[in-house]
Amino acid sequence: MTLFDSPDFQEHEGVHAFFDEKTGLKSIIAVHSTARGPAAGGCRMWPYVSAETALTDALRLSRAMSYKNAMADIALGGGKAVIIGDARTGKSPALFEAFGRAVDTLGGKYWTAEDVGVSPGDLASARTQTRYVAGLEGHAAASGDPSPVTAEGVFRGVRLCVERALGRDLTGVRVALQGVGHVGAYLAQKLHAAGAKLIITDVNEQALAQVARATGAQVVGTDAIFDVEADVFAPCALGGAISAQTLPRLKVKVIAGGANNQLADATVGQAVFDRGILYAPDYVINGGGIINVAGEIRALAADTAFDPAWVAGKLDRLAQTLGEVLDHSRADGRPSNLVADEMARARIAAARG
């Protein structure tokens, strides 16, 4: 199968493969769209079983970033970088310097940032070779860790969905939270402060214990999270949590969380809708982090300081956009993920002119 035959190749502007013999770098950077501005999206390092699997991930994630950035109403397109390798054993400063040189060859069409398996230290090495890196500290335009901003956007989205589906605030609402990493832990704190009752799971037992101590959450196994009695399921781990196998086990009225690619495939969205579950499309509700990064890129381009008020205003607008998606879904009798996709594509098409 060639690149252009792949079902995941959908009007991508460019797909770039990079190899560096000295460091062993094997990387793919997919640029889906620059219609709204330079493509932006994180760099993921993962031990993919094949180059084809890595390519599929880059294609899917870059398209999702185009949609996310469009729905966040920021002047960025969508792109994504993947590095084939084990983040626990395969990292070196030289590897990320080589990655920085790869990014720089695109001449600003793509800005990179953190994603799974990549740390600020890694990006600092990349930054020595290119200016097109966001999410670092030490300069006036720095936006800081995007995780708290992502969590704030997800929190507002959960609150909105609970109001729509249950007609109440978060006091006493039972939330099954899958994943308490950076975003999940911040979200747990916010939900706890709002009076929600938490059931949590994660593969990281230390993180679980820390969040449980801070919030009084009930801890369950990673598979058991799908069977608990709850009002909200909040996926905040890796993608594909909602599938034909897991969906029938959920007893919730709302699915709203911070993970990317929460639906295992396109058919699951219809099944969620048919079960009467209110679903907040992932790339809409979790757009806070890229808004924060966009604030940094905006400041770097203008050689000004980072503006938190600009980010706050975009977060307010993000919650309004989620509300519009849910309104159209209810009025049209269609799954919210399809409504969001159509809105995102329309915004990108309008930018193309």
Which residues are marked as active site?
80
How far apart, in whole angstroms, are the C-alpha atoms of residue 81 and residue 75? Answer: 19
**What is the token pair recorded at 17?**
């493969």
Count other C-beta atoms under 10 Å from residue 343's C-beta: 19
| Burial label, 223 (beta-carbon count in 10 A; 0-12, 13-18, 19+) | exposed
Count other C-beta atoms under 10 Å from residue 327's C-beta: 13
Q: Are 220 and 202 in contact (CB under 8 A)?
A: no
DSSP state of 217: P
How far apart, in whole angstroms, are the C-alpha atoms of residue 334 and residue 326? Answer: 10
| Closest alpha carbon to 298 in 25, 42, 74, 71 | 74
| Burial label, 143 (beta-carbon count in 10 A; 0-12, 13-18, 19+) | buried
Q: Which positions ≥6 away from 113 have C-beta within 8 Å?
A: 40, 41, 42, 43, 123, 133, 134, 135, 146, 293
How far apart, in whole angstroms, are the C-alpha atoms of residue 114 and residue 135? Answer: 7
How far CA 258 is from CA of 1, 157, 184, 203, 317, in Å, comes to 33, 10, 7, 17, 17
DSSP state of 114: B
